[in-house]
Structure 1
Amino acid sequence: MQLTLVNPKNKIEDKRSTTFSRTNPFQAKVLKNVNLNGADSCKETRHIELSLKGSDLSYVPGDALGIIPSNDSELVASLLEEMKWDPEVTVTINKQGDTLPLKEALITQFEITLLTKKIMQQAAGFTENEELQKLVSAENINQLKEYINGRDLLDLLHDFGPWNADAQEIVSILRKMPPRLYSIASSLTAHPDEVHLTIGAVRYSSHGRERKGVCSVQCAERTIEGNMLPVFIQANKHFHLPESHEKDIIMVGPGTGIAPFRSFIEERAVNQAAGRSWLFFGDRHATTDFLYKDELDQFQKDGVLTRLETAFSRDTAQKVYVQHKMLENSKELYAWLENGSYFYVCGDKDLMAKDVHNALIDVIEKEGSMSREDAEAYLNDMKKQGRYQRDVY
């Protein structure tokens, strides 16, 4: 008689072959969640460590982690109350016909904190409110943009009733909850089976209400050690360390922009990279907002971080930012560029990245004794060589 043996090794391999992705996220256990800012800071920046054990997920410095967040249950409760909806009524959540109780669907499935032109136009079909009809008309596009800015679904439903729509009809016009991407703040070689994040909690007032970033405040207020977060890796082919460990790197990352550079520095420490590294970091106050200060000090002592320039804008009468520190060190900065250094920027796209870009051209123009046009061409050459990389948002 022939016996068929079950190979337990194959079973393990089958399990590991499950591919986790944006559509099939891995449930990562929260190992650590601490506030990096001091008690008197007006900011809250969370350092979060997650376990990737059993996921077979991997990443390299420069990649991002996607989190699929959940909405604040208090905001959902306000929506249910505004519309007098039954939280347990069943609603269809996708084209496949899957269903969930309304409250759960609003918490886990849909974007409710942002409005779009399309949502406004579709909502107008569910009410006879003249103000909304006027707002979505073609000639009032600017007023519509103004209304959308800083408002959410609760504002829309509160402002333009009465509504001739049930919960299912309103849910059908909402966008699916998009994942939030965060630059990874750790090296996998330094922390096997782990991924670390640096997340600034977003809170602000708008149109008479306090607003909260969906994912950042979930991480700050509603995520504790032992909780699970649905995550996936998002590769970033345009933001990575040089292949050669001999190359010098210059990193500009104020605030949470430091995240990928913590990853870069950790990776280079493990690999004992020979190339020099120079970090420009900035925030408001040195005493409360110097993120990862102890780690950076230790990296300097160990010789992994060659230079560290800091700019704390609220500690001086005149505000000093990272771009000012670049200009102060223009001679040496240009020497590093001439030596083949790679230059990286991470953080705010609208202000900081533009100021850093212009400061970099200023440095090249001044120290290279060249025209503005030639300085810009120099920077474009660096881009083509992959030596000028930006991760801005």
Structure 2
Amino acid sequence: MKLQVINSPFNEEQVKLLNELLPKLTGEQRIWLNGYLSAPLATIDAIVEEEKPTVKPITKTVTVLYGSQTGNSQGLAEKYASALKDNGVDVTISSLATFKPNNLKKVTNLLLIVSTHGEGDPPDQAIQFYEFLHSKRAPKLEHLHYSVLALGDSSYEFFCKTGKDFDEQFAKLGATRIVPRTDCDVDYDDVAAQWFSAVLQELLQQTDIATTSTTQNQPAQGDTTYSRKNPFYAEVLENINLNGRGSNKETRHIELSIEDANFHFEPGDSIGIQPENDEKLVDALITALQFDPQTEVNVFEETLPLKNALQKKLEITVLSKPLLQKMGAFTVHQEFTKLLEDTSAWKDYAKGRDLLDVVEDFAPFTWDAQQLVNLLRKIPARLYSIASSQKANSEEVHLTIGKVSYETNGRQRLGVCSGSVAERVQIGDSLPIYVHKNPNFRLPEHEDTPIIMIGAGTGIAPYRAFLEEREELGIEGKAWLIFGDQHFVTDFLYQTDWQRWLASGTLSQMHVAFSRDTDKKIYVQHKIEGNAADFYEWLEQGAVIYVCGDKKSMAADVDATIHRVIEQQGQKTPEEAKAFVNELKQQKRYQRDVY
């Protein structure tokens, strides 16, 4: 962002000062400045003593809806709703799970912030609204003005699909866009802020006067100053392997010091770790590219050596279709072109491979170092469920991290963050972290509400936080844990903790499924089915179901089993069971933290 002196009302000195300031502003600061400069001059220039113009009250009303799986959409919705209120706009904010779709007829201005989960699926809380809007019951919406902010992950094929579907369907029903839809990747802060700035400007232009509050983006007193963009460097206090000798898996229990971080979190929240790429992989990539590692490149408004950029800033381990398509502009390799033309071929190739594979398999490429880094996105932070209660460990946070390790194309691969934690991070080292709130995975408000916790592998982590919290508060209500892994002897994660809580009454019952200990593989869903009558009885008593773990296999199988148990035990049709489950989700009695 640069001002031109030509036709500018500023002199050269002023232009120089502005050009020094503007590139350094964050998205939030630009929103604030936009609103500030749109205020009446009398509120800006206190020296000029003249009567302020009569301010007509803003009558603009806006409904902000969000569909969130991990809390990102909800966090943005709450933040932007607050900013709208500070600008005098009458705001209603609601989750898609609780908003009645027929009320769309009464809404004039709608902002929808929604994520896409997995391979193009809506978040759990958005499913019913999504189905309604795409059904014959959806009303005509010629009166509606709307805009969609879509959150997603470009490493998935159906990037931001839910937001795109909503945007297109609103338009089909006759609604008018306030501003065009914006699609956000995992590093969404600045892009989302630009969308909101455009929305805010458009809304305020439609009113008689644009009022603004100078405090709209000030953090609340006492809030932490640490965030994804400004992580806290936490000292590693403990790093141990939870699996026994001979296990096929390696699961690390990490304890981090958060002294002086001023973090505030609850059971169900996550810690984000900003990882770095393996130096050996970076060196091999630079060698294959035949680049000088000290070549300076510009990345995210920062100039640094190529090696630093590839190691600390840029994602090089995931191959997405958008990335491969952009790379296609720098090669005439016929096999690479064929790869992109065949949907199944590029998917098969990309699975488990990284940028080094592409460079080695399809050289030469015609790019220079700067052109290469321009294609790459920022390394996404990795989120890990918190495995401890802050009430019990005020100066620490515990994590459960499963090491990702596999071989593809004759080369051993490691997860960017999990591999680093397992192989390189030592006690005394520091990790850049921040708290990621997840309001969609929370203990019940009422202590006597029964809870059913279902998880496999590292999906056990949040339940350790749940029970540690309940122990600290002296809660001994009904709590049922269903846990699965491979072998009883080597993979019973946190076994002594569960035994202690069973003995004290903090945990009332537990069922375990170790899939590799018998000829017939037993999984957590089999334990639900084997205790179907009890499971349904707990639901009748108002129990909340929690599911944490792998979305594609475990969580999908558990979901199908829950539907089947409700159908059989409740003597319901499949349609009635589905409606029952949807009602559980709306009541926040079926919560999932799946990945």
TM-score (norm 2): 0.61
SS state of the match for residue 204, structure 1?
A: strand
Match in the other structure for 1:99: 303
Q: Which residue of 1 aligns with 2:490?
A: 288
Task: Show CA shifts across 1:329-364 (max 9, x none).
Answer: 111111111111111100010011111112112222
Deviation at 1:148, TM superposition (A): 2.2
Tell me which residue corresponds to 1:169.
371
Q: Is the 8 A contact 1:16 1:55 kept in 2?
A: no
Which shows bigger deviation, 360-369 or 177-186? 360-369
Partner of 2:260: 54
Query: Which letter maps to 2:424?
Result: R
The separation in 2 between residues aligned to 1:118 and 1:378, in whole angstroms, is: 39
Query: C-alpha distance in 1, partners of 2:272/2:431?
Result: 10
- Post-superposition offset of 1:84: 2.4
CA distance in 1, matches of 2:348, 2:520: 33
User: Which whole-Å CA distance do the structure 1 matches of 2:499 and 2:394 have between them?
Assistant: 23
Match of 2:548 among 331, 335, 346: 346
- 1:319: which partner in 2? 521
For residues 12-44 of structure 1, give each alpha carbon's deviation from its aligned partner in whole angstroms, at most 9, with x where no partner exists.
Answer: xx9976611111111111111100000110100
Q: Could you say if the C-alpha distance between residues 267 and 129 of structure 1 is closer, same or farther in structure 2, counting changes exceeding 3 Å? A: same
Structure 1 CA distance for aligned equivalents of residues 316 and 435 of structure 2: 25
Distance 2:539 2:237 in 1: 39
1:202-237 Cα shifts (integer Å, max 9, x gaps): 011122221111111111111111111111111111
Choose which of 470, 485, 506 in structure 2 pairs with 1:268: 470
For the 8 Å contact 2:476–2:505, the answer to whether it is kept is: no
SS at structure 2 position matched to 1:24: coil
- How many angstroms apart in 1 are the aligned matches of 2:416 and 2:439? 27
Larger deviation, residues 377-386 vs 109-118: 377-386
Structure 1 residue 130: deviation in Å? 2.6
1:108 positional shift: 0.5
Aligned 1:141-220 pairs, distance under 5 A = 141-220=343-422
Change over 3 Å in CA distance of 1:80–1:39 after alignment to 2: same
Q: Residues of 2 paired with 1:302 and 1:17: CA distance?
A: 36
User: Contact 1:134–1:140 at 8 Å: present in 2 too?
Assistant: yes
Q: 1: distance between equivalents of 2:556 and 2:224?
A: 42
2:432 is the alignment partner of 1:230: yes
* Aligned with residue 72 of structure 1, among 278, 283, 298: 278
Q: 1:325 to 1:15 in 2, by over 3 A?
A: closer
Structure 2 counterpart SS, 1:169: helix
Q: Secondary structure at the match of 1:350?
A: helix
| Distance of 2:221 and 2:358 partners within structure 1 | 46
Is the 8 Å Cα contact of residues 16 and 54 (structure 1) preserved in structure 2? no
Give SS of 1:376's match. Answer: helix
Cross-structure match for 1:7: none
Moved over 6 A (4+): 14-17
259-268 vs 367-376, which moves further: 367-376
Q: Note if contact 2:476-2:507 (Cα within 8 Å) is conserved in structure 1.
A: no
Q: Give the 3 Å change call, closer, same or farther, for CA 342–74 of structure 1 in structure 2.
A: same
| 1:32 partner amino acid | E
Q: Which of 251, 255, 267 pairs up with 2:453?
A: 251
Counterparts of 2:590 and 2:389, CA distance in 1? 21
Q: 1:124 aligns with which of 313, 324, 328?
A: 328
**2-structure distance, mates of 1:267, 1:295:** 13
CA distance in 1 between counterparts of 2:486 and 2:366 reads 49
Q: How far apart are the structure 2 equivalents of 1:345 and 1:15?
A: 35
The equivalent of 2:577 in structure 1 is 375
* Partner amino acid, structure 2, of 1:147: Y
Letter in 1 for 2:232: F
Using the alignment, how far apart are the partners of 2:495 and 2:539 within structure 1? 26
- The structure showing larger relative contact order (alpha-carbon pairs under 8 Å, at least 6 residues apart) is 1
Superposition deviation, residue 65 in structure 1: 0.8
Corresponding residue for residue 269 of structure 2: 63
Q: Which residue number corresponds to residue 317 of structure 2?
A: 113
Structure 1 residue matching 2:591: 3-state secondary structure: strand
Percent identity between the aligned chains? 50
Aligned length: 376
Q: Is the 8 A contact 1:47 1:197 kept in 2?
A: yes
**Aligned residue for 2:248?**
42
Change (3 A) 1:355 1:140: closer
Preserved CA contact (<8 Å) 2:224 2:263: no
Alignment of 1:19-30 (within 5 A): 19-30=225-236
Q: Please list every run of 5 or more consecutive structure 1 residues that lacks an aligned counterpart in the other structure.
A: 1-13
User: Within 2, Cα distance between the matches of 1:328 and 1:112?
Assistant: 45
Task: Output the CA distance in 2 between the equivalents of 1:183 and 1:151.
Answer: 26
| Selected match of 1:298 from 482, 493, 500 | 500
Q: Could you say which residue in structure 1 is the equivalent of 2:289?
A: 83
Deviations along 1:43-101, one digit per CA (max 9) or x if unpaired, are 0000001111111111101111111001011111111221222222222112x2x1112
Q: Name the amino acid aligned to 1:57.
A: F
Q: Residues of 2 paired with 1:367 and 1:144: CA distance?
A: 45
Give distance in 1, aligned partners of 2:584 and 2:451: 13
**In the aligned structure 2, how far is the partner of 1:27 from the partner of 1:237?**
25
Deviations 1:239-288, CA, capped at 9 Å, x for gaps: 10001111110000111000111111111111112421000001010000
Deviates more, 1:141-150 or 1:76-85: 141-150
Q: Distance in 2 between matches of 1:15 and 1:249?
A: 34
**CA distance in 2: counterparts of 1:327 and 1:279, whole angstroms:** 14
The 8 Å contact of residues 365 and 374 in structure 1, kept in 2 or not, is answered as: yes
Determine which of 230, 240, 243 is the counterpart of 2:442: 240
TM-score w.r.t. length of structure 1: 0.92
- Out of 297-306 and 126-135, give the one that drifted further: 126-135
Any idea what the Cα deviations from partners look like across 1:93-121, whole Å, max 9, x if unmatched?
Answer: 12x2x111221211100100011222222
SS in 2 for 1:362: helix
